Amino acid sequence: MNSSEVLKSYADKKIKEHIGSFESDLHYDALCLSGGGARGVAYCGVLRQLGNDRLINDIKEISGSSIGAIFAIPIAFGMTVEQISTFFSEFPAEISANSITSNVQAAIKICLGKYVLEIQNFLKKHNIPLVDQYGNKLDTVEIETALNYLTFEQHELLRTHTSKSELPQIFKLKLKRLVIVATFDKKEEIELSSKCSPNMAIATAVRGSCGFPYKIGGVKVQTKVFDTRSSTFSAGLKKTVSLTDGGITNNTPYIYIKGERKLVIAFTTADKRMKESKFSFSEFLMQTLVGAPVYKFERFDIKAAKADPKVILFLLDSYISTFDLKKAKSDFYLLMLNAMKQFAEFEQGRGICLESYLPSDSLSNLDRVANEIDLSAEQAGIDDSGEEANLDQLMQSSSSDYESSDLCGSYDIEDRTTLNGFKRRFPPTLALSISPPSASPISSPSSDTSHSITPKAVTPSGIDSLTIPRMKKATSDDGFDFLKSHSRPDILVYKKDKYGKTIKRPASAGVK
């Protein structure tokens, strides 16, 4: 056995042990994967921890940028977590424009290849048959390559119109709504989806989203692949436009998915950059080279994710750098195992924090805080009439040693207990705003969603009961109260105005 086979055998053994020990009742209905280059291999570990039931049955939509866009494809087309791990373990150590396209096409073929004739007949019936890269209809001989240029519109039709009686094998795959984000003409982010770019080949969209300048480069696409009525850009009289790396303008494109329980996975490097007052020389140089405020955009998106009550943000430490593709290849199984443990630990922490998850419309703001940290009504300062005690008094009465972050109206709890050798960290859970009674609280997801959190009745073994944390008042940061009542287009314009300084903020923004 070579070293790769030894590591794989070791990983398989550890995964079996790990899956049996760490099970979670938490459920998500949408998934967003950030860009991060070679770090992305760690996603395999998170997906293994999620398991097939939650990934295939619960997740209904997925968005991704850059490497996140590559990972979004096998998920959107119904690969199992085992298939995804195998697929990416065989990914080349050197990535090129051609290898990105060919690997995306290979992922689609793995999922749909056995049913290509049935798919072709189905799509013909709906007047959008499979075509080649030039838009020409295919004959029987060419049918083997037919899926290479599957478009967003065709994928969406397969997702929404198949049933147990029509294309039952495709129906069983449970295809996901798919959104890829790229940078349009080197200046603004653009959504690539069945809504905005129905006639674009999915492989081309991913190739564009991964087109990092000076490494891989952008890709030119014809404007006719876009639906200009719903797209977020105006191409004017241009026949072609350029798509480059989505990570330049939106590395964490969670805003494009609609779920009530969005699992958003980003990397700890993004969170660390938020805490630095200045950018490093290399970061400054990077922004200069690409001609865009890359890290300012990233800060905005991570802050916005923390402020969004529908987002569960998991910050993953992959322990490798963006361009360390050789290490990503050689240490694939170790990185996967490490990510599995991190995500299991994250979910166990959330299981404790959310032992009592109740809809916000039936609870006062302080009630929800008390339920999340397991305070009794008396401790929380709630009298029999349900009226709240002074919030400031409650905050000051806590004797915990642990401070929580007041960033973007959320809280962040750290405790010194360790679990299986890893530091236990509680990232912002529901980004619950803790405001004075006069302020309007951010509401939690509705309780009628089919993917709500299942309360955990028993505290996981190895974790002591939580010390009551001391919480600071949530404050408005960078105008993130804006997220509560404004549409996605307004938020995107505000983001570009604040950091790109090229577009005026809409009058409806109301953010100073």
Our measurement of the distance from residue 61's CA atom to the centroid of its chain's CA atoms, rounded to an integer in Å, reads 10
Q: What is the pLDDT of residue 271?
A: 84
Q: What is the pLDDT of residue 511?
A: 31
Q: Tell which of 315, 348, 381 closes a domain.
A: 348
Residue 372, domain member (yes or no): yes
Q: What is the pLDDT of residue 254?
A: 96
Fill in the amino acid letter for 462.
G
Do residues 58 and 268 touch, judged by C-beta distance below 8 A? Answer: no
Q: What is the pLDDT of residue 404?
A: 33
Residue 389, domain member (yes or no): yes
Q: Residue 423: is its pLDDT beyond 90? A: no
Q: Residue 144: is its pLDDT beyond 90? A: no
Shared-domain flag, residues 177 and 227? yes
Shared-domain flag, residues 303 and 431? no
Shared-domain flag, residues 212 and 308? yes
Q: Residue 259: is its pLDDT beyond 60? A: yes
Residue 466, domain member (yes or no): yes
Q: Residue 406: is its pLDDT beyond 60? A: no
Q: What is the pLDDT of residue 382?
A: 42
Shared-domain flag, residues 462 and 501? no
Q: What is the pLDDT of residue 439?
A: 35
Q: Which residue has the higher pLDDT, 423 or 159?
A: 159
Q: What is the pLDDT of residue 221?
A: 93
| Mean pLDDT computed over 365-380 | 45
Within 178-241, where are the H helices? 202-209
Shared-domain flag, residues 244 and 313? yes
Residue 371, domain member (yes or no): yes
Rounded to whole angstroms, the Cα distance separating 119 from 141 reads 16
Shared-domain flag, residues 310 and 369? no
Q: Which residue has the higher pLDDT, 507 or 240?
A: 240
- Mean of the per-residue pLDDT values for the chain? 73
Q: What is the pLDDT of residue 364?
A: 46
Q: What is the pLDDT of residue 27?
A: 92
Rounded to whole angstroms, the Cα distance separating 60 from 11 reads 29
* 413: β partners: 426
Shared-domain flag, residues 486 and 468? no
State both tokens at 80: 């199992």
Shared-domain flag, residues 483 and 466? no
**Helix, strand or coil, per DSSP, at residue 410:** coil
Boundaries of domain holding 88: 3-348
Do residues 135 and 126 touch, judged by C-beta distance below 8 A? Answer: no
Looking up tokens 């199992």, which residue turns up? 80
Do residues 471 and 395 touch, judged by C-beta distance below 8 A? Answer: yes
Q: Tell which of 300, 333, 348 closes a domain.
A: 348
Shared-domain flag, residues 105 and 174? yes
Q: Residue 187: is its pLDDT beyond 60? A: yes
| Mean pLDDT computed over 363-377 | 45
| Digit-coded pLDDT (tens) for 440-497 | 333 333 333 333 333 333 333 333 333 333 333 333 444 455 555 556 777 777 777 7
Q: Which residue has the higher pLDDT, 275 or 101?
A: 101
**Helix, strand or coil, per DSSP, at residue 153:** helix
Assign residue 245 a region (left: φ > 0; alpha: ψ between -120 and 50; beta: otherwise): beta
Tell me which of 19-23, 177-181, 317-321, 375-379 is least confident. 375-379
* 183: β partners: 189, 244
Q: Which residue has the higher pLDDT, 273 or 268?
A: 268
Shared-domain flag, residues 342 and 387? no
Q: What is the pLDDT of residue 359?
A: 41
Q: What is the pLDDT of residue 353?
A: 52
Do residues 205 and 69 touch, judged by C-beta distance below 8 A? Answer: yes
CATH value at residue 138: 3.40.1090
Q: What is the pLDDT of residue 28?
A: 96
Shared-domain flag, residues 254 and 366? no
Shared-domain flag, residues 134 and 156? yes
Residue 512, domain member (yes or no): no
Of the candidates 63, 446, 51, 19, the one whose C-alpha atom is nearest the C-alpha of residue 254 is 63
Q: What is the pLDDT of residue 204?
A: 97
Number of domains in the chain: 3
Q: What is the pLDDT of residue 385?
A: 43
Do residues 411 and 404 touch, judged by C-beta distance below 8 A? Answer: yes
Of the candidates 380, 403, 393, 397, the one whose C-alpha atom is nearest the C-alpha of residue 472 is 403
Q: Residue 268: is its pLDDT beyond 90? A: yes
| Mean pLDDT computed over 77-94 | 92
Q: Residue 504: is its pLDDT beyond 50? A: no
| Digit-coded pLDDT (tens) for 289-323 | 777 788 888 888 999 999 899 999 999 998 898 88
Q: Residue 431: is its pLDDT beyond 50? A: no
Fill in the amino acid letter for 165.
S
Our measurement of the distance from residue 189's CA atom to the centroid of its chain's CA atoms, rounded to an integer in Å, reads 16
Fill in the amino acid letter for 402.
Y
